[in-house]
Chain A
């Protein structure tokens, strides 16, 4: 049984560099979510895909952030021109449409440190 997989688990970069995170959801799940979590805070919603369509984006998702899910399977989250304020844990979650509550299954996260 494979859960949600995220890579890399840790990324240290210098300010101004671009970084990309990958998320592989549970195989039969057609919905995929990205969240950001900073120290002492709960996860904050960034964006959501159903299959390959990006259906919702938070105001937190600035122009420097872009997410894709080209074939409706894995997803990537790219941050361009990173800033120190981007340092956070980036969490991916997936779910299956048709369930009543649509609870999310989370990966272990990708921790970004911007120096």
Chain B
């Protein structure tokens, strides 16, 4: 069964510092991977997705993620944090060829940004 593990339930950075949110997946085949962001009292918004076209994926708001098959990882990064980046971030996985099935989400990482 496929799954994702997000290491670190809470990450704190200073404004302008590097953001690194970790996600490791478990899947029998190379999966499709997603990062979503959730602001308080709102739904989830897609940040970026990996579809096997390129291992380095760029998303919205300056975020990017790199798919590393050897490490079964899909970590999310941003070079310089903004206060507005403070939110909950979720990694999710789906098996290719099963586009109709549900995404499986990790437990999430709360990002705090201090001035």
Q: Is the CB of A106 within 8 A of B43?
A: yes
Residue of A nearest to B9 (CB): A40
Q: Which chain A residues lie closer than 8 Å to B44 at the CB level? A: 43, 91, 93, 104, 106
Number of A residues with CB within 8 Å of any CB on chain B: 30
B46 contacts A42, C-beta separation under 8 Å:
no
Bound complex: CA A4 to CA B36 (Å): 16
B48 to chain A, nearest CB (A): 10
Residue A82 at the chain B interface, CB threshold 8 Å: no
In the complex, what distance in Å separates the CA atom of A103 from the CA atom of B90?
14
- Provide the bound-state CA to CA distance between A103 and B107, in Å: 18
Stretch at the interface among B13-21, B62-70, B76-84, B98-106: B98-106
Q: If the complex has contacts A56-B101, A101-B51, A102-B99, are A42 and B43 also in contact, measured as CB distance less than 8 A?
A: no
Q: Is the pair A43, B105 in contact by a Cβ cutoff of 8 Å? A: yes
5 more A-B contacts (CB under 8 A) besides A31-B100, A48-B101, A97-B99? Answer: A40-B9, A50-B100, A93-B44, A100-B99, A104-B44
Can you list 28 A-B contacts with CB-CB less than 8 angstroms, sorted by A residue number?
Answer: A35-B105, A40-B9, A40-B108, A41-B108, A42-B106, A42-B107, A45-B103, A45-B104, A48-B102, A56-B102, A91-B44, A95-B99, A100-B51, A100-B99, A101-B32, A101-B49, A101-B94, A102-B32, A102-B99, A102-B100, A103-B34, A103-B46, A103-B49, A104-B46, A106-B36, A106-B45, A107-B43, A109-B41
Interface residue ranges, B against A (CB under 8 Å): 9, 32, 34, 36, 41-46, 49, 51, 90, 92, 94, 99-108
Q: Which residues of A contact B (CB under 8 A)?
A: 4, 31, 33, 35, 40-45, 48, 50, 55-56, 91, 93, 95, 97, 99-109, 111
